Amino acid sequence: MIDRESLDESISHIVDPYGEDSLSQEETQEIGYLIYKQNEIVCTIGTEECKFNIDLFLEEILDNNDFYDSIKFLKRCFNKLNEEYHLGCLEDTISKLFAFQDFRKSIVPLLIFFEKEKGAEIFSECFPYVDINTLREIDSFKKFIELNYENFLKVLNARQDLEMIIKSIFNFASLDDAIFILWQIVSKDVTGINSSQILKGE
């Protein structure tokens, strides 16, 4: 459902209606909707709502933004992802990808990985089965990751269906940062991950 107050605020910041370069009402409204949709994705990163906003808005935003607006939007996405998941290990890599105008291949996979349950799927498939109590208790979870992390990296790096930016997270991150990232992923869907691992073992 469209938040009219947020949409009106987006539109009000676009142009001076009395300026020389003022847009038509229709153009102003279209740009306002696009800004609103960008904010809906960025502001909900880290919440359950984000995956629905990605489905609804992401493709349209990337198709309709010009090059520089796309860069600004995707940088905002990365900054918010960094706040939520501590992705400082990727900052140099992201900067290089942006320099080579490869931003779409860098940020979009991160959004899908963290906000569309791809991360939970990877955890279920790349780690051995772990009981649900371990997934819920941070100290036990940390010990489990420390014990299995080296093998996890081997399995992860061998996968052909993952973008390099996703592999880079865990190859570049410190173990403590990797544990934090994995804990954030698992905490979103403990029962779903546990069910997936049980089914995998059958």
- Residues in CB range of 202: below 8 A, 6 or more apart: none
- Tell me the pLDDT tens digit for each residue of 110-164: 999 999 888 999 999 999 999 999 999 999 999 999 999 999 999 999 999 999 8
Dihedral angle sign, alpha carbons of residues 170, 175, 177, 178: positive
10 Å CB burial of residue 4 (0-12, 13-18, 19+) is exposed
Above 90 in pLDDT, residue 97?
no
Distance CA 6, CA 200 (A): 44
Segments in 13-131 forming alpha helices (H): 25-44, 49-53, 59-64, 67-85, 91-99, 103-115, 118-126
Cβ–Cβ < 8 Å for 53, 136: no
Tell me the two tokens of residue 147. 């014990």
Query: Across 22-180, where does the E strand assignment appear?
Result: none
What is the pTM for the complete model shown?
Answer: 0.81
Q: Taking phi first (over 0 means left), then psi (-120 to 50 degrees means alpha), and beta for anything else, what does residue 129 get?
A: beta
Torsion, CA 15, CA 18, CA 19, CA 24, rounded to 10: 60
- Say what percent of the chain tops pLDDT 90: 55
- Tell me the pLDDT tens digit for each residue of 58-74: 999 999 988 888 889 99
Cβ–Cβ < 8 Å for 169, 181: yes
